[in-house]
Structures are given as structure tokens and as C-alpha cells.
Structure 1
Amino acid sequence: MTIETISVVGLGYIGLPTAAVLADAGCRVVGVDVNQRAVDTINDGCIHIVEPGLADVVARVVADGRLRATTTPEPADAFLIAVPTPFNDDRSPNLAYVRSACEAIAPVLKAGDIVILESTSPVGATEQMAGWLAAARPDLRLPQPGGSAGDLAIAYCPERVLPGNVLTELVRNDRVIGGLTPACAERASAAYDFFVEGECILTDARTAELCKLTENAFRDVNIAFANELSLVSDQLGINVWELIRLANRHPRVNILQPGPGVGGHCIAVDPWFIVASAPDQARLIRTAREVNDGKPEWVIDQVRAAAERRADRGGPARVACLGLAFKPNIDDLRESPALAICDRLANEPGLSIVAVEPHVDALPARLAGRVDLADAQTAIAGADIVLLLVDHIVFADAHVHLAPDAVVIDTRGQWNGASRR
């Protein structure tokens, strides 16, 4: 069957760029989101997230009538589900948003439609999705792994893009498409033929699900090595940035850069999905997560120690937290260790916290009333302790505003790792 209309369910950091790229490639796209403000913003030809180049594409495709947004699903030929998949307090996967999306689109499904889950998910999630759709639409035959094709094509195709470069990577990166059956994978690949220039590689759904988790767990383990190395180096009085620079001159060594922790909607979450699926086997993956989850506490300890050394000066120590996003040059605060550190420091007695985040207009609610928001020059010039948490490019030369006796804790090595304590 020919695909003429695609519905993208979830218009966040992945869903909206995907909808925009599809529409720009000539497909008619209906975006669905529960956030009325986001829907209205998109229909006005504007965007509610920060992603380079996205505003121009959305303005163009909305003006051309190829993209519109709604809070209520409508009939389409293919449905791409790109909703959040957080974890619960016990770090088990939470698929409530996926289930809600399935139940929302179920009434408008028809025989021949394609349903693709793009959200990062635990192994078996695509089969669960098929089960929810079957319960909501008993009149439709759902495909069975290793069995019949059914009335719908059900597949899993995870995103694998870098925030800040999403529009390019959506088009150029290879895609792994896992179907409940081979026919499902084949039919689902047609949805990506509109815009993907990379290779579409077909497999089964469970392998595709674990593939996405594996990619992010691999990165998490390597980041954990760098973060643990920073702890060892600090204990031994060695500059970790210099150490890594020298070690990486070995032709087969490529150590990543340490930081204040790991954030974002993928790397900080996805490895726990593997641990939940195979807790006895995923020992290294669990340990890496624990190392990275523990790094913010180490950073907080550094600030506490610096404040104690300055306690005899009287009054609260003024701490400038540079950066709240989970990575450089974006506005995304999801699972951000920088945000968590700033939040924790605001509860510390004897500290006065000012935050600098050039990519947001206001502090998140959890910091409001407890932390001041300022520009970098103002915050740094008045700070006793300067805590560099995110290496936004705008911070590259900000250290020129340091007070002569300011304590510097550079968690990203942006200022050549020359922390002053």
C-alpha cells in the first residue's frame, strides 16, 4: 500500500523534527501531542523546543500545509510513536506513555496501517504494544512473532540522533527496523524511504530493541571509565585532562572526557532497561550506571570542601553554577546531572546559588525561588566558587571574569582543567 499520510505521536525532541523532516520530504504529516500549547505553537509555524534549523523547516512545512498538529489522533497510513519512556523509582521501565499512545490511536486504525514504535524501550515492548492494540481493536488481526502477518504492520525503529544535529542525522544515519514479522519490517521501512539517506537494516523487533539499548550502554560504560579515572586522578593529585590527553596518544586508546555525571533521555536511562531485563548478567552495565549516577555527589563534595575552606570569611559562599542542560549548546534539561547538582546545592546551608543557562529564559520550577538566574559575566564576577558543569561554547572565555581569589571547579575541562581550589 502507498503511504500518503503519516501520523507522528509525540511532538518532542524527536517527534517534532521527525514530523518536520517527513513533511519537508513531501509526505502529509499529522502530529499528535497531549500538550495543547505545543500543538498551538506548531500550528502557528513555530517551535517549542530548541534544535538548530528546526524553526525554519517547521515554518515552511506548516505554511505549505504539509504539517499540522492536533491533540486528537486522526486516520493515517502509518503511525510513528515517539513518546517518553522513563523509568520508575525502582529503575524498571515505565511504558505508560506508550500504552496511552496505543490506546489513543487504536480507534482510528484500519487494516493495512503501519504502527512503528520509535521510543527507546525495553526488550519485548513492541510485543506489548501489539497486545495493547489487540485488546483495543479485537476486530483487527495483529501480527504474531514468527507467525501470520495480520491486518497491521507492527515494528520498532529507534531514533539514534545527536541533539543539536538532529535534522542532519535523521536523514543521514542508518536505521535499524525490527518487525514483529519480516513482512512487518519490510512494510515499515517504506515510512523511512521518504527521508532516510542512510541504510535501512531490517531485523526482528527484539533485536532492534536491544540494539538501541546496547548503543547507549556502550557509551555509558566508556563514560563511566572516564568518570572513574577522574576520581582516581583527584585522589592521586593528577590532572585528569592532561592524563587523558597523553593516554590518547596511544594508537589504540580513545578515552572519553569525564564530566559531572551523565544525563539526557537516553544514556542515563537506557542501560537500566538492560539491567531490568537481565539483572544477573548485566553486571558491568549496572556498575557503569552506578559510577555515573554517583559522580554528581562527588562534585557536590568538592563544592562543600571549597565552601568550608572559605567559612572564616563570613556570610554564605556565593556559588555560580555554569550550565543546567545535560550537554553543551542545547536547552534540554532531561535527567541533567548539572540541574540535579544545582538543585542539591540550593539545599546546602551556607551557600548562595546563582545559575547560568543561556539556552533557557526561566529556571525550571524545582529551582524557582531558591536559585537566581544570571548571565555568565555577572554570576562569575560575584562568585566565591565557580562550578563549570556544562561546556557551552559561550563559556569558553568566561573565565576572564573570575575574581582573583575565586575557587574554580571545572568538571568539563573547558578551561584546560585548571581548577583553582
Structure 2
Amino acid sequence: MCGICLRNDCSLPEKKGNLVIIESTIPPNTCEKQVKQILEKSTLKMCEDFCVSHCPERAIPGNTLHEMVYNDRVIGGVDEKSTQLTADLYSSFVKGNLHLTTSTTAEMIKLMENTFRDVNIALANEFAQIADDYGIDVWKAIEIANKHPRVNILKPGPGVGGHCIAIDPWFLTENANNSSLIMMSRQINDSMPQYVLKMVKEMLTGIENPIITVFGIAYKGDIADTRATPAKKFIKLAEKEGFKIKIYDPFVKEWNYPILGLEEAVEGSDCIVVLTDHSEFRNVDPENLHNKMRKPNIIDTRNIINKDLLEKSGYKIKIIGTR
């Protein structure tokens, strides 16, 4: 068994008995159509001379090796032999359950998993905006709603990032005629940076030459991954509106914009905008920041800060989905 390059221009090994396993997230029918077409340029025939399976990776940044071993895995071959050979291989190191199916179904399953989360987050984001209209606390409402045994609403935020949830739903919609809910969810999540900017503009009305300090540009907390982060869109939108942007992220060292130290990032700032739920943001020193900011304002899109402590120190605070 060996791995085989799937570039259209690659030189394919003409060797029978190969098992090709694809773990990358791919659209439905990729194995049976595109992969077949590419690999059969070798003059070998799929299912006769070589086998192909899709076993989508299931791993979270920061815990990849553990999840590779202990997570359940979905294995879908283009035929039964491909499925069984792949199951034999993965059973040698996977301690989770192996769920055997077809390659197209396996491709669909991975996309369904991430699309479910995207749609759920979009619902939470829409709940947050409705809560703003009604003047209630969406975080408390979600907490209580989730006590229902069949309800599990995720958390609202500034948008969706990462290399999976923000991208994978499009793999389902590109060749499908019935995907309006998925597309609308993508639109809602992609529009959240504009909604956050609207909150900032309302809070900073009347301030000339406003300066914003962005807390966190990673797409999720306690990691340095900035792929498809909604922070990038928020920053670009804010700059177009004339805001000066300064950035602090304790995990990210290099990015498209300069990353500053904490004190330099808040010096002269009119508003801290929390875009990432880094644990460090729970315990910021309110007095130290207050003395350096021009205006002690905070907008928290992750409900991560110590609101009571900061309010006692004189901060004006707005948490997304609350009044």
C-alpha cells in the first residue's frame, strides 16, 4: 500500500495492488469520478488493479494525535474490497469505532458534520441579533434552552473561521439544487463582522479619529490558527470606515497586520473588541488597561471577559446578544 499524488500532471506509478486513501475533505462523488479519472491515467483500472477509499480526518487543532487514535472513523471505499482493506489498516491504530460505508456517503458525512455546526452557529448568531432587538441576554437564554434534552444551541460570535466549518458547506452547495438553508447560514455567519462593526460604531458615536484594539485574531480560543478568521474581515471593514486598528493576540506571532504587545495595543484606544475567546482574556487587569486607554469601552463578541469586575472599574461594556 502507498500514497499516490493526485495532481493532474503527476507521474502515476503503474503498480497493481495499491490502496489509495484520501483523508482530506472533498465534495461528494470525488473518489468515484475525479480520483478515478486521474488514477486511471496510469492505464490501471480502479477496483480491478487498485483500491480507493475515503476516510475523512476528524481532529481538532492542539489535540490531533489523540483524536486520530480515539475518535470514531468513517471509512468509505469505492467497493467492498477497498472498504475492508482500509478498515484493516485503520483498526491497527484506531481505538474508536470504525463505521463502514461507501466513498460517496463518507464524503457526504464529513461535510454534513461541519455544515451542521455552521448552520447551528448561524442560528445562534441570528438569536443574538434578535435578543438585541428584544433587550434580553441571549447567553442566558441559550443556557436555559439547552437544558431541554433535545436542544443543543451553539454559541454566537463574530463569525466562523478555520479551514473546515467556513468552507466545507460550499462543497455541498456547488452541485446541489436544494441548499438554500446552508447558503443562508453561510451568509449570516459571513455577515457577522459587519454586525460587530455596527456595535462598535454605536458605542463610539461622537469620538473623533477613533482607535480600536482587537483582542484576538485566531479563529478560536487558545490556538494560533488564523485561517479564514472573521477578524480579518472585521479589520478591513473597520479600516474602510476610518478606524485605526491595533491588534493584540497572545498566541499569534505573525500575521497580515502587526501584532503588538498588550500595553502598546491598548495605549490611547477608545474600544477593545474581543474577537477570540482566548482564556487569557478572562483575567485582564482592568486598572492597568484603564489607565492606558483613552476611552474605557469594551465590546465582547465571545462573552469571555469578567464583565462585573470590569464594570466596577469604570468600563462601558457591550456583549453581543445582550442589552
What range describes the TM-score normalised by the shorter chain of this pair? 0.7 to 0.9
* Mapped partners of 1:182, 1:115: distance in 2: 14
1:289 match = 186
* Mapped partners of 1:295, 1:203: distance in 2: 37
* 1:377 to partner: Cα distance: 4.1
* Mapped partners of 1:214, 1:180: distance in 2: 20
Asked if residue 383 in structure 1 is aligned to residue 269 in structure 2, the reply is: yes
Report 1:141-152 matches (<5 A). Answer: 141-143=45-47, 150-152=48-50
Q: Secondary structure at the match of 1:151?
A: coil
Are the aligned partners of 1:227 and 1:259 in contact in 2 as well (CA < 8 Å)? yes
**Which runs of 5 or more structure 1 residues have no equivalent in the other structure?**
1-76, 82-98, 144-149
- Cα deviation per residue 1:247-266 (whole Å; 9 max; x = unaligned)? 33444433211110111111
* Mapped partners of 1:344, 1:79: distance in 2: 43
* 1:183 to partner: Cα distance: 0.4
2:234 match = 341
* Mapped partners of 2:199, 2:279: distance in 1: 24
Letter in 2 for 1:383: S
Are the aligned partners of 2:218 and 2:252 in contact in 1 as well (CA < 8 Å)? no
Are the aligned partners of 1:323 and 1:356 in contact in 2 as well (CA < 8 Å)? yes
Q: Secondary structure at the match of 1:121?
A: coil
- Cα deviation per residue 1:239-287 (whole Å; 9 max; x = unaligned)? 22232233334444332111101111111111121122323x2222222
CA pair 399-214 structure 1, distance change in 2 beyond 3 A:
farther
Task: Name which of 300, 304, 308 aligns with 1:414.
Answer: 304
Are the aligned partners of 2:217 and 2:252 in contact in 1 as well (CA < 8 Å)? no
**Which runs of 5 or more structure 2 residues have no equivalent in the other structure?**
309-315, 319-323
- Cα deviation per residue 1:208-261 (whole Å; 9 max; x = unaligned)? 000001111111111111110111111222222232233334444332111101
Are the aligned partners of 1:241 and 1:416 in contact in 2 as well (CA < 8 Å)? no
Letter in 2 for 1:345: A
Moved more, 113-122 or 231-240: 231-240
Letter in 2 for 1:403: H
Report 1:357-368 matches (<5 A). Answer: 357-364=249-256, 367=257
* Mapped partners of 1:403, 1:151: distance in 2: 69
1:322 match = 215
1:157 match = 55
- Cα deviation per residue 1:27-60 (whole Å; 9 max; x = unaligned)? xxxxxxxxxxxxxxxxxxxxxxxxxxxxxxxxxx
Asked if residue 403 in structure 1 is aligned to residue 290 in structure 2, the reply is: yes
* Mapped partners of 2:307, 2:116: distance in 1: 26
**Which one has more relative contact order, counting CA pairs under 8 Å at least 6 apart?**
2
Q: Secondary structure at the match of 1:176?
A: strand
TM-score (norm 2): 0.87
Q: Secondary structure at the match of 1:409?
A: strand
* Mapped partners of 1:153, 1:345: distance in 2: 51
Report 1:96-175 matches (<5 A). Answer: 99-100=6-7, 103-104=9-10, 106-108=11-13, 110-127=15-32, 128-135=34-41, 137-138=42-43, 140-143=44-47, 150-175=48-73
> Aligned Cα RMSD in Å?
2.1
Moved more, 211-220 or 187-196: 187-196
Are the aligned partners of 1:229 and 1:240 in contact in 2 as well (CA < 8 Å)? yes
Kindly report structure 1 stretches of 4+ aligned residues shifted beyond 6 Å.
none
TM-score (norm 1): 0.68
Letter in 2 for 1:411: T
Question: Number of residue pairs matched?
Answer: 306
CA pair 249-190 structure 1, distance change in 2 beyond 3 A:
closer
Are the aligned partners of 1:377 and 1:398 in contact in 2 as well (CA < 8 Å)? no
Asked if residue 353 in structure 1 is aligned to residue 269 in structure 2, the reply is: no
* Mapped partners of 1:125, 1:337: distance in 2: 29
Are the aligned partners of 1:156 and 1:177 in contact in 2 as well (CA < 8 Å)? yes
CA pair 387-109 structure 1, distance change in 2 beyond 3 A:
farther
- Give the share of equivalent positions with the same residue, in percent: 38
* Mapped partners of 2:198, 2:92: distance in 1: 51
Asked if residue 261 in structure 1 is aligned to residue 159 in structure 2, the reply is: yes
- Cα deviation per residue 1:50-75 (whole Å; 9 max; x = unaligned)? xxxxxxxxxxxxxxxxxxxxxxxxxx
